Amino acid sequence: MMTDLATGRLRSSSDLPSNRHCIIIWVIVYLSCYSIARVNASIHEYQNETFIRRANSFFFHGGSEGLYASRATSVNDTQVSEENSLNGKSFIRFESITFRRTKQSAEKINEMQQRTGLVEAIIVKVRDRTKIGGSYLNSDAICCTPQLANNGSCNVGEVIIHDNPDAPGGPIRIQTFFEGKNEEATMVYNVDINSTGMYYLYFMFCDPELKDTTISGRTVWRNPDGYLPGKMMPLMTFYGLMSLAYLFLGLIWFLRFVQYWKDIIQLHYHITAVIGLGMCEMALWYFEYANFNSTGSRPMVITLWAVTFTAVKKTVSRLLLLVVSMGYGIVRPTLGSITSRVLLLGVTYFVASEALELVEHLGNINDFSGKARLFLVLPVALLDACFILWIFSSLSKTLEKLQIRRSMAKLELYRKFTNSLALTVLLSVIWIGYELYFNASDPLSGLWRRAWIIPAFWTLLAYVLLAVICVLWAPSQNPTRYAYSEETGDDFDEETITLTGSAVKVSADHATVLERKERKASLVADHHVFGLGEDREEDKRE
């Protein structure tokens, strides 16, 4: 048996097939996302990946990240450097990179040849990407051809790189060769990063005989302060500060809650839950990033908990806005027949949000497929639109009914809430426009040092809106001013409006006082509207 949170009636387990189905769906999504997840970001793993043909070359994208330049170690830091050689170092390390060519390719090699196949690793910053290929030679070729080699511009069989002696620090070339008829070649190397920028790593070869060659192994990317990617580094500090912000808000709310605990209404418990979820969410993300920064790979357990708390908090926050807009606990005691629809929307949003968060944070940061992301983002965006439309539709009805009943205190409260919500939606639309512009104008992540602002804004906006709700519905010694009261006749059905012949006089410092003034002339005039039955009910209340 279960209790309906909105109506308080008991329901048997047989009435809940949809809940079981939703749980099953969530488990399937959870396990499928877990199964496709790979250790990502600072440790890029390659598992027998194939090369793609591009122009007259074959290439494989080995990863991309924003890296800060290594910090110079002072004389005073000599002892620290000996204890921790990675302190202040920024690098890209090639670990067990193995290239495997086909047996047929190896058998075509002359036994007298020592080096029989060249594979290159090219590390290039975004600003230097035009230095790769023959564009500066008015050629579409990426690999050097005999014609270009005759001009002394490049060497046949190598990737064309334009080296400018006047501007050192361009693309970095690392070469490895297949020896004799060996089917495997290894690349072990460490590249120190001495210039800040967004770096791309490509593995390339020009020999068509190496077609179908595969790559396996991994590369490790590190910033001076740890393994956390450069564009994510500011987020660790941000989440730490947001944890303190939620803690501060929760402390104030708790003190207020305890001070007026006898006058607490049901809505206050819902707000408390959202504050608690936000506090746990920010703390989990901070520890997840801190662990990520120290190890180079995401801690699966903490990441899964952080993702789940994020999805739960987003869902509960939207449901809170919706039920407040409907007047739950303020002008109506229950949600009535629409409870199932509200819960269905909430469960659906949680499943969609959880799937998106799992794939975004457990997939490779720089290799996340645009189509896959679009497939998961669209349902969340559509559900957000449903929430917004339903919230403002409910607010419109609630404001209309409060105005008809002349419940001035509640009307003023809901007007402030509506204005705050409208401002939040306006800021969201503006920021979405900026985000689209940012992504469109920076397809190669050249502005990676500012990318952290995008997710940080949404987190900050949600916190501000929650703080506004806490101010508007703060616990007080006079909760009946805003809480639902049967004597005031606040309860109403969502689809109908029941008018009463009463006037409400509201005191700003005392509880709402209803004074019904009846006049025989008004009763006779309004008899055809309200009916005798309602007049008798009014007499009983008097």
DSSP calls for 283-321:
HHHHHHHHHHHHHSS--HHHHHHHHHHHHHHHHHHHHHH
CB 175 within 8 A of CB 118: yes
pLDDT (tens place) for every residue of the chain, 542 residues total: 333 433 333 343 333 334 444 433 343 333 334 333 333 458 899 999 999 999 899 999 999 999 999 987 554 544 444 445 677 899 999 998 999 999 888 888 776 678 888 999 999 999 888 889 887 777 888 999 888 888 877 889 899 998 765 556 679 999 999 988 889 999 999 999 999 999 999 999 999 989 999 999 999 999 999 999 999 999 999 999 999 999 999 999 999 999 988 878 888 888 999 999 999 999 999 999 999 999 888 888 899 999 999 999 999 999 999 988 988 766 676 677 888 899 999 999 999 999 988 888 876 554 444 556 678 889 999 999 999 999 999 999 989 888 888 878 888 889 999 999 999 999 999 999 999 999 888 888 889 999 999 999 999 999 999 999 999 888 876 655 555 554 444 444 443 333 333 333 333 333 333 334 333 333 333 433 333 333 333 343 33
Cα–Cα distance measured from residue 379 to residue 381, given in angstroms and rounded to the nearest whole number:
5
**Residue with the two structure tokens 């992301």:** 373
Token pair of 447 as six digits: 């502005």
Model pTM?
0.76
Q: Which of 271, 267, 289, 268 is nearest to 279 (CA)?
A: 271
Cα–Cα distance measured from residue 16 to residue 23, given in angstroms and rounded to the nearest whole number:
11
Q: What angle do CA 134, 137, 141 make, to 5 degrees?
A: 30
Phi, psi of 111 (to 5 degrees): -60, -25
CB 384 within 8 A of CB 360: no
Cα–Cα distance measured from residue 478 to residue 508, given in angstroms and rounded to the nearest whole number:
10
Strands (E), 223-354: none
Q: What angle do CA 10, 15, 19 make, to 5 degrees?
A: 105
Cα–Cα distance measured from residue 114 to residue 107, given in angstroms and rounded to the nearest whole number:
14
Q: Indicate if the alpha-carbon torsion angle 531, 534, 535, 536 is positive or negative.
A: positive
Cα–Cα distance measured from residue 117 to residue 160, given in angstroms and rounded to the nearest whole number:
17
Token pair of 480 as six digits: 């009946």
Cα–Cα distance measured from residue 326 to residue 334, given in angstroms and rounded to the nearest whole number:
10
Question: How do beta strands 172-179 and 503-505 pair?
Answer: unpaired
CA 282 to each of CA 159, 333, 497: distance values in angstroms, whole numbers, following the listed order: 46, 33, 43
